[in-house]
């Protein structure tokens, strides 16, 4: 019998794959992405503040609504990443998409990524809840024990979002990818199964209607350091 150190034993049952279903929260609805969402998404992609939203994405911006529709036709049918359209209840308009990706049922690991939110949706309750709903699906409903977030190491807003949601920074893979002809270092973050309940409860408390003033401003911070 080996005397070398090894990791703890775990449940090796493969986790279920996510299923394309509608998920409804307090502030947002997630719908399986479909070409019928193209018109709403195209409108969300117009305006001077949109250009920066594509800087760190592996695709986009799109030259025309037809080009976007063609992209969505392929993107929406992929099994990994699996994409949902994001519809804030306050507006009723689809203004973004979000995915579960790098799905590893045997390792019980799954990534939240490929997130694009239009400027009107960024830094809103709906945006936070959209991310939370898929994390909850993965951790609570499907039993994944490793939730992953990775981003371009230069993407400060994405790194802040990971920290707000309670992800722990693990390190940076240098020269990890080539994206749009440029070298990318990738920063990795994770939430593990034993950490998730505390993260979940903190996000739920932040999302509670009682946490928001009459003007919609949050009364408490979600940042891990606050």
Rg from Cα positions in the chain:
18
Residue 3 lies in a domain: no
Mean pLDDT of the 117-125 span:
94
Instruction: Give the pair of three-digit tokens for residue 26.
Output: 């307090």
Sheet with 109-117, strands from edge to edge, namely 23-24, 28-32, 82-88, 96-104, 109-117, 146-152, 182-192, 168-179
pLDDT of residue 226: 44
Lowest pLDDT segment from 71-75, 134-138, 220-224: 220-224
In this structure, is residue 118 part of a structural domain? yes
- Token match 């994001």: residue? 86
Q: Per the structure, how many domains does the chain have?
A: 1
Return the pLDDT at 224: 53
User: Distance (Å, rounded) from C-alpha 168 to C-alpha 205?
Assistant: 20
**Residue 14 included in any domain:** no
Report residue 20 as tokens. 């394309």
The yes-or-no verdict on residue 6 having pLDDT over 60 is yes
Is residue 8 situated within a structural domain?
no
What pTM value is reported for the model?
0.96
Note the pLDDT of residue 44.
Answer: 97
Provide the domain limits for residue 81: 23-209
The answer to whether position 88 is within a domain reads yes
Give SS3 for 110. strand
CATH number reported for the structural domain that contains residue 84 in this entry: 3.40.630.30
DSSP assignment of 66-106, as one string?
Answer: HHHHHHHHHHTT-SSSEEEEEEETTT-S--EEEEEEEEETT
Q: Which two tokens mark 74?
A: 């392929």
């Amino acid at each position: 019998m080996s005397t070398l150190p090894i990791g703890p034993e775990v449940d090796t049952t493969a986790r279920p794959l996510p299923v394309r279903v509608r998920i409804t929260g307090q502030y947002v609805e997630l719908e399986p992405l479909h070409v019928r969402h193209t018109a709403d998404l195209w409108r969300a992609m117009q305006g001077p503040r949109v250009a920066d939203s594509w800087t760190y994405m592996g695709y986009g911006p799109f030259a025309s609504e037809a080009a976007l529709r063609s992209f969505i036709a392929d993107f929406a049918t992929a099994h990994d990443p699996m994409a949902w359209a994001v519809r804030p209840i306050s507006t009723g308009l689809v203004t973004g998409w979000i995915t579960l990706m790098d799905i590893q049922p045997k390792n019980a690991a799954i990534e939240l990524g490929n997130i694009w939110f239009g400027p009107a949706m960024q830094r809103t309750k709906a945006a936070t809840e959209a991310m939370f709903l898929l994390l909850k699906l993965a951790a609570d409903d499907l039993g994944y024990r490793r939730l992953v977030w990775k981003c371009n190491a230069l993407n400060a807003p994405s790194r802040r979002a990971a920290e707000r949601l309670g992800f722990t920074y693990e390190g940076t893979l240098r020269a990890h990818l080539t994206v749009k002809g440029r070298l990318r270092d990738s920063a990795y973050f994770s939430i593990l199964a034993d950490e998730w309940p505390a993260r979940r409860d903190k996000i739920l408390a932040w999302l509670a209607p009682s946490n928001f003033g009459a003007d919609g401003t949050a009364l408490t911070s979600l940042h891990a350091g606050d």
